[in-house]
């Protein structure tokens, strides 16, 4: 596996197990990657603060692809931020505030995120993914020029009607389902693949020297861009279709199994 410089790994449904925990054996696999000079890079729709908290117990100067590629960090340094169109932010916030029985919106900035929903179900779900979260009375008081992503929680999972309503309000911005419950809205140029290219340029290697793991629609560009791609057995059919290899599901620690195999462990 010496030919690879970086491993980009989605979190939910890919790397984390069925309980949202880091799989056993990760510390040993991480050490083996580090010995070969291969970077382990989380690539997630989760916010940067959450990703830093998850990996804080582990040795390593991690790079992070956060907020579906709109925030990119090399170690402690933010190297790329892609803001979202302010008019789209206003339109989607308005939609979600008009229809709180259908949607709860998280307004994401590089350092923290904001919400005004008091629905206990939505709040419990949102706090899983957003550790740096502030509740405010009026989202319209925020500085929309600093928004990198809107994460819309849909109370009806997998609803095409809800997805289309969000897409219409987004008016040309990039909308992607990151799970059956979540639709993320970003600048049209933003995705995990572009973030991977940013990290490759920053460190001075080609994306051909990377591999990537994913399971859902927000991983498509990442898997198409990496030098070699792996879809989890539990992945969305469209993700499986474009991957180079299907590996065991996240519930069977498929990322760890595959990395250990590639490392000859």
Q: What is the pLDDT of residues 10-61, one digit of tens each?
A: 999 999 999 999 999 999 999 999 999 999 999 999 999 999 999 999 988 8
Q: What's the pLDDT at 111?
A: 92
Main-chain dihedrals φ then ψ at residue 155, nearest 5 degrees: -70, -20
Q: What's the pLDDT at 1?
A: 47
Q: What's the pLDDT at 118?
A: 65
Query: Is the pTM of the predicted complex or chain greater than 0.85?
Result: yes
Q: State how far the alpha carbon of 233 is from the alpha carbons of 14, 44, 74, 81, 255, in Å.
A: 9, 18, 30, 32, 11
Q: What is the pLDDT of residues 173-191, one digit of tens each?
A: 999 888 889 999 999 999 9
Hey, CA dihedral for 62, 66, 68, 70, is it positive or negative? negative
Q: Taking Cα atoms as reference points, which of 86, 178, 81 lies closest to residue 126?
A: 178
Main-chain dihedrals φ then ψ at residue 259, nearest 5 degrees: -60, -40
> What is the dihedral angle through the alpha carbons of 152, 156, 158, 163, rounded to the nearest 10 degrees?
-50
- Residues with pLDDT less than 70, the chain: 1-2, 117-120
Q: What's the pLDDT at 117?
A: 61
Domains of the chain: 6-81+190-263 (3.40.50.1000), 86-186 (3.30.1240.10)
């Amino acid at each position: 596996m010496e030919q690879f410089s970086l491993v980009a790994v989605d979190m939910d449904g890919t790397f984390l197990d069925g309980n949202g925990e880091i799989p056993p054996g990760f510390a040993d696999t991480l050490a083996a990657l580090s010995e070969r000079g291969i970077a382990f890079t989380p690539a997630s729709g989760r916010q940067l603060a959450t990703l830093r908290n998850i990996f804080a117990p582990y040795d390593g100067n991690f790079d992070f692809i956060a907020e579906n590629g709109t925030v990119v960090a090399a170690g402690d340094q933010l190297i790329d931020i892609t803001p979202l169109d302010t008019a789209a932010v206003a339109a989607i916030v308005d939609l979600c505030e008009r229809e709180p029985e259908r949607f709860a919106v998280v307004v994401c900035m590089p350092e923290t995120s904001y919400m005004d929903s008091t629905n206990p179900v939505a709040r419990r779900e949102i706090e899983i993914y957003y550790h740096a979260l502030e509740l405010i009375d009026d989202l319209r008081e925020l500085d929309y020029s600093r928004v990198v992503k809107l994460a819309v929680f849909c109370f009806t999972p997998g609803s095409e009607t809800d997805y289309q309503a969000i897409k219409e309000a987004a008016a040309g911005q990039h909308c992607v389902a990151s799970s059956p419950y979540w639709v993320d809205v970003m600048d049209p140029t933003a995705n995990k693949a572009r973030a991977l290219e940013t990290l490759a340029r920053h460190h001075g290697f080609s994306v051909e020297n990377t591999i990537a793991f994913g399971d859902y629609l927000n991983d498509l560009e990442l898997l198409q861009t990496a030098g070699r791609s792996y879809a989890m057995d539990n992945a969305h059919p469209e993700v499986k279709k474009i991957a180079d290899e299907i590996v065991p599901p996240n519930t069977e620690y498929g990322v760890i199994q595959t990395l250990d195999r590639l490392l000859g462990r």
